[in-house]
């Protein structure tokens, strides 16, 4: 029997995760045909590189950790994304929408507002297809999808625990439901700056392309929604997620992994809602919506590799000052430190456990030995700036990479399916997130965390 894995593991144990990330980044760029046909095999390869040696070395402990990350994290993650993807794909906005800078900015604003109430995945999946159809006549669409990812799939989810998984985990640990509205000012600053940049970029390309708006009313089709009843299923998903956070029905053990009964019930309800959505929606709606299963299949296949190879990284982080990243944990002192380190790690790791790691670090630093919920209440009362920094970092920085937040991958995949070219993993970072998002985050830091 070994000690805590996080205290034992060295930084070498993160090599499979680095290999997984580099595969996602480099193969689509240098070997696109190979990647398209074999990304599943690549994910399986790196998963085995992580699982087999760890299992041989740490035996039962390793098996338990891998089972835990699959059953407690990956499976609920895929079920929630699949339910949102399925239900939103059965909602079709018909009618003439012409992608002008004003209309496009309006759609992104609507999505940004919705993201905090139906989740970044729900809002992104609901609006990405109408957004792409409205701009099918435009030549330059890539930047539009990127800003959609920035705002709808990430930053828009800042205001409630329903918006993004890390905030939901904070809610489960005693952060009041409406406390996250404390992030409103940070969110508004980031959103306004990005919307202004987006609008003027869109206006520049709109004029450059010489677009002529459909002006003849006879050519326009009135707006209407098919599959409207699926909004009930979307609401059901939101209620099921919220229910799992407030109901306490004990725990059940699945292959030695303890899960809250309410979480298992939630997963069952989500599957049921997705099935009902499919059974009650006409096939023609999905066909007209250009609905396919590939985007969610790609996410499921790639993220099993990401989750499995990520396990050593998360264990090391969770070990705090006793782990191989102790130098990093000890260097985090000021609010802006928490904002940036939580954010940078959330760009490449799952932002939910990253959030929990630094929340736990704060509780241990300022209120050691105090019961968790009481400690959270004291932290909010006395040092709320630190919790704001961790919360905003976990949500905002998810926009930095395709793997920073799950809807990023699905939005990219849907865009590519409909003929919109998307940048590579590094291209996305070098052309968009680093030159656009990083300066915005620097401004947020200067205004709120210095």
The whole-number pLDDT of residue 385 equals: 95
- DSSP codes joined into one string, 368-427: TTS-HHHHHHHHHHHHHHHHHHHHHHHHHGGGGSTTSSHHHHHHHHHHHHTT-----HHH
What are the DSSP E strand ranges found in 231-317?
Answer: 251-254, 257-260
Q: What is the CA radius of gyration of the chain?
A: 22
Domain locations in the chain as residue ranges: 90-213+220-227+281-291+332-448
Buried b (16+ CB within 10 A) or exposed e, 56-87: eebeebbeebbebbbbbbbbbbbbbbbbbbbb
DSSP secondary-structure letter at 251?
E
Distance (Å, whole) CA 401 – CA 112: 18
- Contact assessment for residue 373 and residue 173, using Cβ atoms and an 8 Å cutoff: yes
Q: Compute CA 420 distance to the chain's CA centroid, rounded to the nearest angstrom.
A: 21
Write the burial class of residue 97 (CB in 10 Å: 0-12 exposed, 13-18 middle, 19+ buried).
Answer: buried
Give the number of C-alpha atoms closer than 13 A to the C-alpha of residue 178, restricted to the C-beta side.
Answer: 0
Tokens 């918006």 locate to: 163
Alpha-carbon gap, residue 296 to 288, rounded angstroms: 18
414: phi > 0 → left, psi -120 to 50 → alpha, else beta; which? alpha
Distances (CA, A) of 175 to 179, 342, 417: 7, 18, 40
Burial class (CB in 10 A: 0-12, 13-18, 19+), 50: buried
On whether the CB atoms of residues 338 and 332 are closer than 8 A, the answer is: yes
Helix axes 351-366, 294-318, angle to 10 degrees: 20
- pLDDT digit string (tens) for the chain, length 450 residues: 556 788 889 999 999 999 998 999 889 888 989 998 999 999 999 999 999 999 999 988 999 999 998 998 899 888 988 998 999 889 988 877 888 999 999 999 999 999 998 889 889 988 999 999 999 989 999 999 999 999 999 999 999 888 888 888 788 778 888 899 999 999 999 999 999 999 999 999 999 988 765 544 446 678 888 999 999 999 999 899 888 888 889 999 999 888 989 999 999 999 999 999 999 999 999 998 888 898 899 989 999 999 999 888 888 887 878 888 888 888 888 999 999 999 999 998 878 778 888 888 888 788 877 777 788 899 999 999 999 999 999 999 999 999 888 889 889 999 999 899 999 999 999 999 999 999 999 999 999 998
The CB density around residue 103, as the number of other CB atoms within 10 Å, is: 16
Q: How far apart are CA 335 and CA 404, in angstroms?
A: 21
SS3 call for 278:
helix
Q: What is the pLDDT of residues 241-283, one digit of tens each?
A: 888 888 889 999 999 888 989 999 999 999 999 999 999 999 9
Q: Residue 350 has which token pair?
A: 């799952």
Read off the pTM: 0.86
The DSSP H or E segment spanning 359 is helix 351-366
Q: Within 13 Å and on the Cβ side, how many CA atoms surround 286?
A: 17
Cα 289-423-107 angle, rounded to 5 deg:
45
CA pair distance 214, 47, nearest whole angstrom:
51
> What is the C-alpha to C-alpha distance for residues 369 and 348, in angstroms, rounded to an integer?
31
């Amino acid at each position: 029997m070994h000690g805590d894995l996080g205290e034992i593991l060295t930084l070498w144990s993160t090599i499979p995760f680095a290999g997984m990330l580099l595969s996602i980044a480099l193969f689509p760029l240098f070997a696109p045909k190979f990647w398209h046909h074999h990304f599943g095999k690549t994910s399986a390869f790196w998963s085995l590189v992580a699982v087999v040696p760890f299992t041989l070395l740490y035996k039962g402990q390793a098996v338990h950790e891998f089972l835990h990350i699959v059953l407690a994290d990956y499976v609920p993650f895929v079920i929630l994304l699949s339910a949102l993807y399925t239900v939103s794909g059965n909602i079709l906005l018909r009618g003439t929408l012409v992608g002008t800078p004003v209309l496009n900015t309006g759609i992104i604003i609507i999505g940004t507002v919705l993201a905090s109430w139906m989740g970044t995945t729900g809002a992104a999946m609901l609006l990405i297809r109408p957004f792409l159809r409205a701009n099918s006549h435009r030549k330059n669409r890539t930047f539009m999808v990127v800003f959609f990812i920035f705002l709808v799939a990430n930053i828009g989810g800042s205001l409630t625990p329903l918006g993004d998984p890390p905030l939901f985990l904070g809610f489960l640990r005693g952060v009041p439901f409406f406390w996250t509205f404390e992030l409103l000012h940070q969110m508004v600053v980031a959103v306004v700056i990005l919307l202004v940049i987006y609008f003027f970029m869109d206006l520049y390309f709109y004029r450059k392309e010489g677009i002529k708006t459909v002006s003849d009313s006879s050519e326009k089709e009135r707006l209407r929604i098919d599959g409207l009843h699926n909004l009930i299923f979307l609401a059901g998903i939101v209620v099921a997620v919220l229910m799992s956070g407030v109901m306490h029905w004990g725990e059940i053990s699945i292959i030695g992994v303890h899960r809250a009964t309410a979480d298992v019930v939630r997963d069952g309800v989500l599957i049921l809602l997705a099935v009902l959505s499919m059974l009650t929606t006409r096939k023609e709606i999905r066909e007209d919506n250009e609905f396919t299963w590939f985007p969610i299949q790609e996410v499921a296949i790639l993220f099993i590799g990401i989750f499995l190879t990520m396990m050593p990284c998360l264990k090391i982080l969770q070990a705090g000052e006793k782990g191989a990243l102790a130098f990093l944990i000890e260097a985090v002192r000021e609010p802006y430190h928490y904002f940036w380190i939580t954010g940078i790690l959330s760009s490449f790791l799952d932002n939910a456990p990253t959030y929990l790691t630094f929340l736990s670090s704060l509780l241990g630093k300022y209120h050691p030995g105090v019961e968790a919920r009481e400690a959270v209440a004291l932290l909010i009362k006395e040092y709320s700036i630190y919790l704001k920094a961790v919360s905003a970092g976990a949500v905002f920085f998810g926009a930095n990479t395709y793997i920073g937040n799950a809807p990023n991958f699905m939005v990219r995949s849907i865009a590519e399916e409909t003929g919109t070219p998307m940048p590579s993993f590094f291209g996305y970072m070098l052309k968009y997130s680093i030159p656009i998002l990083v300066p915005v985050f620097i401004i947020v830091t200067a205004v709120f965390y210095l």
